[in-house]
């Protein structure tokens, strides 16, 4: 009997040791076929880090370096747009739209206005001077769909050309909570509240037809879209009645869920080929963080608990927890497995993808300790 207990003890100890090794020993990345070359976008003068937020079909990139926004051209390199200019988007006309702090009158206080910038003209006068900070969509036809909060949970929504006047956006039914995106044909994606008080995702097509996605579903499991491509396909998130959170694509006829990569996936963008990019926290990283959180939480109950908690520390930084992900045909790929191991990059987040399949985001190069913006360019098959 004692031999059996001893054998069981050592078996459990071995399993525990293997489990800890699985969690903490870094495994080499299994590289698939190299599909992308990595281009270092660089930084603005005097800065040591950069982040890319959007890319157009010309391969032009916008983002920020330090506290300043930049515009990056494949031929000309990086150009400073302005300090305190953020949430920038760039269309296929090389127009950049984002928010900037502007002094209000003769006072020292500032407000956040939506402003247009172009490589040739810099900041230009437009009909957007009265748009305060809100979510907005920006198309390559120079159309902007944006929200104005009138002081309640409902928003006033507008659509306008960047050089023209704003026109109020009205729906055939329901009340607008917010508009989120506009595609190049001019269809608008948003969230409305129907007569029963349910929140629903809608697409308002250019001919005025209102399409409601997932009608009749209870609000707690409702689909909430946030990206609309030129094919009318919507990317969004859902929360099921069972508490499951995930991401799905609506193709006009049905929903297709994206296969999860880890416990905490984040989706950022989708192109006209329905390729989706974002980031994820791998499962074993989630287990490690849950273990450390539990240890730190229980350490607080001990004498000198907060001192012990600080000594334990955090196992990983935010950047160490995340990896950039590409979804194709609803299946996820770790972007680090699609670049050459000789590139020396660790992709942390993919923030945007254009119709040529070029991806931007940020990561770390083995020669530096600071995050850098990158461009992943598909390698052409010979």
* Neighbour-count burial of 1, counting CB atoms closer than 10 A to its CB (0-12 exposed, 13-18 middle, 19+ buried): exposed
Q: Does residue 24 lie within any of the structural domains?
A: no
Q: Does residue 58 lie within any of the structural domains?
A: no
Q: Does residue 280 lie within any of the structural domains?
A: no
Q: What residue numbers bound the domain in which 190 lies?
A: 134-258
Write the DSSP assignment of 231-278 as a string of letters: TS-EEEEEE-TTS-EEEEEE-SS-EEEPPPSSSEEEEEEE-TT--EEE
* pLDDT reported for residue 27: 45
Mark the ranges of the chain whose per-residue pLDDT is less than 50: 18-28, 215-220, 312, 316, 318-319
pTM (2 d.p.): 0.83
Q: Does residue 66 lie within any of the structural domains?
A: no
Q: Does residue 152 lie within any of the structural domains?
A: yes
Q: Does residue 87 lie within any of the structural domains?
A: no
Name the domain count of the chain. Answer: 1
pLDDT single digits (tens) 72-98:
999 999 999 988 888 899 999 999 998
* pLDDT reported for residue 160: 86
CATH of the domain at 181: 2.120.10.30
pLDDT single digits (tens) 179-196:
999 999 999 999 998 888
CA distance 64 to 352: 14
Write the DSSP assignment of 33-65 as a string of letters: ---EEEEEEE--TT-S--EEEEE-TTS-EEEEE
């Amino acid at each position: 009997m004692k031999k059996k207990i001893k054998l069981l003890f050592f078996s459990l100890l071995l399993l525990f040791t293997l489990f800890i090794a699985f969690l903490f020993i870094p495994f080499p990345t299994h590289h698939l076929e190299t599909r992308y070359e990595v281009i270092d976008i660089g930084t603005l003068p005097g800065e040591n880090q950069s982040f890319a937020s959007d890319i157009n079909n010309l391969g032009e990139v916008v983002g920020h370096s330090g506290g300043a926004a930049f515009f990056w051209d494949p031929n000309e390199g990086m150009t400073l747009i302005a300090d305190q200019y953020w949430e920038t988007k760039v269309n296929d006309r090389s127009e950049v739209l984002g928010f900037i702090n502007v002094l209000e009158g003769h006072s020292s206080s500032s407000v956040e206005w939506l402003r247009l910038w172009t490589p040739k003209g810099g900041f230009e006068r437009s009909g957007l001077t009265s748009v305060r900070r809100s979510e907005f969509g920006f198309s390559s036809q120079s159309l902007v769909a944006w929200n104005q909060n009138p002081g309640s949970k409902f928003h006033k929504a507008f659509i306008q050309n960047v050089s023209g006047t704003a026109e109020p956006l009205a729906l055939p039914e329901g009340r607008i909570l917010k508009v989120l995106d506009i595609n190049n044909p001019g269809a608008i994606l948003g969230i409305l509240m129907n007569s029963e008080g349910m929140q629903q995702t809608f697409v308002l097509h250019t001919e005025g037809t209102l399409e409601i996605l997932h009608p009749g579903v209870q609000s707690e499991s409702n689909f909430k879209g946030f990206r609309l491509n030129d094919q009318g396909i919507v990317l969004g998130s859902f929360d099921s009645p069972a508490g499951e959170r995930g991401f799905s694509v609506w193709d006009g006829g049905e929903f297709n869920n994206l296969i999860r990569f880890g416990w905490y996936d984040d989706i950022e963008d989708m192109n006209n080929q329905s390729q989706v990019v974002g980031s994820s926290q791998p499962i074993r990283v989630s287990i490690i963080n849950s273990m450390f959180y539990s240890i730190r939480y229980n350490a607080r109950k001990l004498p000198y608990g907060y001192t012990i908690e600080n000594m334990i520390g955090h196992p990983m930084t935010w950047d160490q927890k995340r990896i950039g992900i590409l979804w194709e045909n609803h299946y996820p790929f770790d972007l680090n497995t699609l670049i050459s191991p000789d590139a020396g990059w660790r992709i942390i987040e993919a923030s945007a993808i254009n119709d040529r399949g070029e991806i931007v985001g940020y990561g770390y190069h083995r020669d530096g300790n600071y995050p850098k913006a990158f461009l992943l360019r598909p390698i052409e098959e010979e």
